[in-house]
Amino acid sequence: MNAIDIIAKKRDGLKLNKDEIDFMINSYTNGDIPDYQMSAFLMAIYLNGMDDYESFLLTDSMLKSGDVLDLSMIDGIKVDKHSTGGVGDKTTLVVGPIVASLGIKVAKMSGRGLGHTGGTIDKLESIPGYNVNLSEDEFIKQIEKIGIAIIGPTKSLAPADKKLYALRDVTATVSSIPLIASSIMSKKLAAGTDVIVLDVKVGSGAFMKTIDDAKKLAELMVSIGKSFNKKVIAMLTDMNDPLGLAIGNNLEVIEAINTLNGKGPKDFTDLCLLASAELIVAAGYAKTVEDATKLAKKQIDNKKALDKFAELVKYQYGDPSYVYEPKKFASAPFIIPIKASKSGYIHKIDALTIGNASMRLGAGRLKLDDKINHRVGILLNKKSGDYVKEGDILAYIHSVKEDNLEIEEMIKKAYLIDESKYSPRLILDVIK
């Protein structure tokens, strides 16, 4: 068996078997196949696709390239939640504490932001002292003790994915449904949880630009999960507009805290309640999503979810006082209002443009080793569906510089204002 024959087989649109896929993944992970051959293999998959069984085999091979975390010593159902990446998506910071406050075990490994999408780990590191680098043993013990841990990925879990993703990023093969599905699911399955809720983003600020592609990805990941005897639920949610009002690390953590205090933006709150409800039902703590939503809302109203977030921060060496006093977060030295140039209803706030503007302010990174500034970002003042008058403030730039003319223009162009009324739709579908 050799790489050239396997690349040629997939290039010609033929199906690969388990031995062939294992050979490519194991050989590349071990350094026996060079980047240029794996690049050709990835491009062949990108152009010709894979069927569901090939995608399962690819996920399985990537999963077995490293360790699989054993959480069996932790009592009860273990749950995880994953987003395919978006702008202003700080959902984990709310959903995790809500669910954990009910006694459901939340075992979450998150990533850093890259490009226009934000990373949960970067946001948590906005809290002074928060340590995202727990060992696997510390991770398990914390879940046993307080019911939740949120850390960065460990090097031993699905190492093939880390190598492959870096290569996909520079070979224009990121937006392939089988490659995205195997990447996400190999990491989620390696983390050892019983239930996974996936938030599959759709729109300008997401990898999946159309509902059809997002649905294919969601259905494939649910299918892969079932093949591994895991309960997987996929929500399709809109990412043509940013989620919530805050984009940028400190700003997003503050918005998450506001939401846990019952004062979050409606779209963000609704999504957090639905994701929590799906996890609550899947874990057997409620029979219906409606009942589970009420239960999740109750945990916000009685402050138990907020207290659980503070406990999480404390146990991971962060300063929990920031959870109760969000004014302690450092703010940017310059806060610049962006005003509407005409009156009308907002039909769209282009998420990709807003995400890129935030990245250029320093809230995101082009490369994983880039430094980010936790203080900067964009705070929206008006959302899609709102009516604005000329001169109304649409958003605020939080910057370390006084002069941000180029970014101001980007934000103005991101807002589409029209005379007709418009009602946005956030939840597009749920696939189980």
Catalytic residues: 82, 161, 168, 183, 187
Whole-number Å distance between alpha carbons of 180 and 96: 24
> What burial class does residue 112 get, using C-beta atoms within 10 Å of its C-beta: 0-12 exposed, 13-18 middle, 19+ buried?
buried
Q: Residue 257 carries which side chain, given as an amino acid letter? A: I
Whole-number Å distance between alpha carbons of 157 and 7: 26
Chain centre to alpha carbon of residue 56: 22
Angle subtended by helix axes 52-63 and 177-190, to nearest 10 = 40
N-term to C-term CA, the chain: 38
Q: How many CB atoms lie within 10 A of CB 369?
A: 6
Place of tokens 């998959």: 45
Structure tokens at 51: 């069927």
Chain centre to alpha carbon of residue 247: 14
CA contacts within 13 A on the Cβ side of 62: 27
**Are 243 and 87 contacting, i.e. CB atoms less than 8 angstroms apart?**
yes
